[in-house]
Amino acid sequence: MNEPVCTSGELDARGLWCPEPVMMLHNRVRDMQPSEEVVVLATDPSTLRDIARFCEFLGHSLLESAEEGGEFRFRIRKKAVG
């Protein structure tokens, strides 16, 4: 049986440009519990690269990355402790 996913909601970074979306994500993740998830909405194409690198560098999981109509959606899970 799967455990329910705790979520930290959405982070709306639409209309913001590099480096603001990643800075906002960094602040949100810092306040999240391990294994908690957040959905980021963005319109800056550089977030495709920047958010993937952010997750890889800090050990968080990029669970979803999608684009529709010029809007990007990312689902990120904060790394577990240990």
Catalytic residue numbers read: 18
User: Amino acid letter at 22?
Assistant: V
Cα diameter, the chain: 40
